[in-house]
Structure 1
């Protein structure tokens, strides 16, 4: 890692507790003593359930050469003699500041992706396509917050040619901060929906937060927007090139035609060229278009893009097909909000099958004061779709059940239960081999536990 402790000190604006000593180079940046190595720079970050300052002694034992601290907790006099200690007002801010400085050492394309849904799939697919031509670094899993994005940037090495970053937010200001750290050349906004309303309050608040990305795309860069989203219809980009994508006619600069969706994937055409994907549902065509637009902008050959789109496998628990005891589950259990829930229901409804269709769902969390109304909207939608059974888990899902019954859904076919375990047990009683069952819910509802109620499984 091409950073010295003097550079880090200057960037972070901290103060040394004792004169700098020993090796001034930084092996790598660490926030976790479990992966710490000799001469690492250890950031003592604070979270709701942890405080990195409690691990100073352990970090010293493992050979950390430098520390960044804040607050009242600090090293003993003896510990100060063993390593370099820098005190800053806020270790999280200092962490981001160092990542921003380090990112500027790399003159490579950076792609930043945000939106209410689809971020992880677009990130993974874009990285998969771009890796056909470039050495790509991306976020691990969903490390998309004020810790995860800097952590990814600080993993950059000389061999990397492209950086793909997913950016999440739950309160105002996070996208602004993350975008300023990353300085992307390409910015993607997948959708403006009802998500994280406890912090962002309204859909307009979500829109305002997500659009902060655009102001930090480098001058002359590319902004790629969802051409189907009315919340993004009037967005202009000034000095940036604007590209809109869509899976409907005349809704984008990059548009999918002749769309065909089935139970094992989808196919579509762009300007006469056919693309096939293992991703399920029409909404995932849109996710493909974001990734394709990025790849085209970076000069990846169309034949390589076609091959990569076809070979990409769905991200776990994001609309993946699981066959368990003969039941075909559409596993979309990783997370949920109103927009992604509607898209998942439409995917289930559009399957051309004769077998029964069922839904096992959990609460959509972090919707604030709008929670009841938004659950009732989903209940009304369910009533119009005529599924064979619905099992809804959680306190907020009771509103969904109530509204569905009010709108004409047969009461004997819809069930309100306490949690995902109870939902799984009831599903096992109701569903039979051949049925198609959507499993969907927010992360906190742990809807993956539905599958624990079944004995044997095989996953595509």
Structure 2
């Protein structure tokens, strides 16, 4: 964060100094009590009641409030600024802070691949410049303030992950970040409990287009079916495309698997380049194309980009290849699940396990609302269309996939379990050194997480 003073903030928001000093420094910002994790934090406080004992470890503290607070008089390291309208004061500070930032700000969204793409971009750019970035998969609505204020005086580029759980999420994120470069990795079938329809979800992702100004750059996947349905008619910036099948600005060809990564040729600016990226799957090639395009957009040397891509480390529980139960091969993809990422994972299973018995263990897809049955049925079709020898589903709604596969492809062995216990007992009987296992599910599924641990080779 660019250091501010309490006096600067007070004058900006036309506040009254109730207690403390204008000279108090501010290095962090929060709008919830639990977000205060550092001294020198500016807290926009909505309520009257404060747990001073909990906050004392983070003094000195500057509080902006429109309430009359209790029991603050003996807190000597607390500066309190009183305003008439807390919401108005909050956005004045945010807008003032953002308008004094003149660097590329990259926002990455998408149904699948957004965390990997964001991490690739950070890994590449941090070679020779200071980068502000969202941490791990932290893309919630509460992260925007922290992300904005992570941009400091010496930051040269920022890259943040921006999620969509409901309409308006990207518009709200953009109000904080005001991105100059936007990336939509792909659009699948997810978060339909709030977006209601596929069209609603596409429109929610499309909010990123409106967030970019006339000088903004929008990076999209020209092969992606739902991305093609984005309304770009009012977008005045530059559209940059990546892909494999369609003509585009960054096109990959000659794609091949190695033991731990992907080799491909990228056609860029009329020239062909050989590229390697760690991490398995054609979807990883798309992620790398976005990272290359983003690095070009901020004028990074391409040879450096290629070298940095080689040293990227794939994220935990995202198609990680491990030694598995009974000398099998285990592919752990238990971070999240959508139909988009399920299809990508099954393609990896087929490519890596071409000569082996292939077992897919699939958990429930969450955040679907009334679309649950339809999307799980669609997931079943995706499984049926792939070469899986044994399908095991874990969880009540996941059984919808199993029932679809049973009806449409009776050649496959199909089993459904409510939890990990029965699944592991079966697996222990049918798995050997000629088997490759894909386990795919959600990080919040206790059964999937426990089963993934059980399937690792015990050392």
Question: TM-score, with normalisation over the residues of structure 2?
Answer: 0.88
- List per-residue Cα deviations over 1:173-200 (Å, max 9, x = no partner): 1100101211111111111111111111
- List per-residue Cα deviations over 1:406-459 (Å, max 9, x = no partner): 112347x2111113455445433332224211111123224232232246458x
Question: What's the CA shift for 1:35?
Answer: 7.0
Q: d(CA) in 2 for partners of 1:301 and 1:399?
A: 49
Q: How does 1:41-440 map to 2 (within 5 A)?
A: 41-43=42-44, 55-68=51-64, 74-76=69-71, 78=73, 83-86=78-81, 98-233=93-228, 235-236=231-232, 238-248=235-245, 250-271=246-267, 272-325=272-325, 326-351=327-352, 353-410=354-411, 413-420=413-420, 422-440=422-440
Q: d(CA) in 1 for partners of 2:86 and 2:388?
A: 51
Partner of 1:28: 28
Q: d(CA) in 1 for partners of 2:280 and 2:91?
A: 36
The farther-off stretch of 375-384 and 80-89 is 80-89
- List per-residue Cα deviations over 1:144-172 (Å, max 9, x = no partner): 12221221221222221110011012111
Confirm or deny: 8 A CA contact 1:420 1:450 kept in the other structure.
yes
Partner of 1:48: none
- List per-residue Cα deviations over 1:55-94 (Å, max 9, x = no partner): 333213542321245789x432535776233567998997
- List per-residue Cα deviations over 1:205-227 (Å, max 9, x = no partner): 11111111122223312110110
How has the CA–CA distance of structure 1 residues 38 and 400 changed in structure 2, closer, same or farther, with 3 Å as cutoff? Answer: closer
Q: d(CA) in 2 for partners of 1:402 and 1:89?
A: 59
The farther-off stretch of 16-25 and 347-356 is 16-25
Confirm or deny: 8 A CA contact 2:334 2:439 kept in the other structure.
yes
Confirm or deny: 8 A CA contact 2:36 2:55 kept in the other structure.
no
The farther-off stretch of 197-206 and 161-170 is 197-206
Q: d(CA) in 1 for partners of 2:389 and 2:121?
A: 37
- List per-residue Cα deviations over 1:244-294 (Å, max 9, x = no partner): 11022x342211011113442111111321001112111111111111101
Q: d(CA) in 1 for partners of 2:50 and 2:94?
A: 23
The farther-off stretch of 276-285 and 74-83 is 74-83
How has the CA–CA distance of structure 1 residues 213 and 404 changed in structure 2, closer, same or farther, with 3 Å as cutoff? Answer: same
Q: CA RMSD in A?
A: 2.9
Count of residues in Structure 1 that have an aligned counterpart in Structure 2: 449
How has the CA–CA distance of structure 1 residues 421 and 97 changed in structure 2, closer, same or farther, with 3 Å as cutoff? Answer: farther
Q: d(CA) in 2 for partners of 1:190 and 1:368?
A: 24
Q: d(CA) in 1 for partners of 2:394 and 2:50?
A: 38
Which secondary structure state, in structure 1, belongs to the residue aligned with residue 352 of structure 2? coil
Q: d(CA) in 2 for partners of 1:238 and 1:22?
A: 43
Confirm or deny: 8 A CA contact 2:209 2:235 kept in the other structure.
no
Q: d(CA) in 2 for partners of 1:279 and 1:97?
A: 43
How has the CA–CA distance of structure 1 residues 445 and 33 changed in structure 2, closer, same or farther, with 3 Å as cutoff? Answer: closer
Question: What's the CA shift for 1:44?
Answer: 5.1
Confirm or deny: 8 A CA contact 2:7 2:23 kept in the other structure.
no
Q: d(CA) in 2 for partners of 1:418 and 1:231?
A: 33
Which secondary structure state, in structure 1, belongs to the residue aligned with residue 4 of structure 2? coil
The farther-off stretch of 83-92 and 442-451 is 83-92
How has the CA–CA distance of structure 1 residues 246 and 205 changed in structure 2, closer, same or farther, with 3 Å as cutoff? Answer: same
Q: d(CA) in 1 for partners of 2:85 and 2:439?
A: 41
Question: What's the CA shift for 1:314?
Answer: 0.8
Structure 1 runs not aligned, ≥5 long: 46-50
The farther-off stretch of 447-456 and 394-403 is 447-456
- List per-residue Cα deviations over 1:387-419 (Å, max 9, x = no partner): 1211111111111111110112347x2111113
How has the CA–CA distance of structure 1 residues 353 and 362 changed in structure 2, closer, same or farther, with 3 Å as cutoff? Answer: same
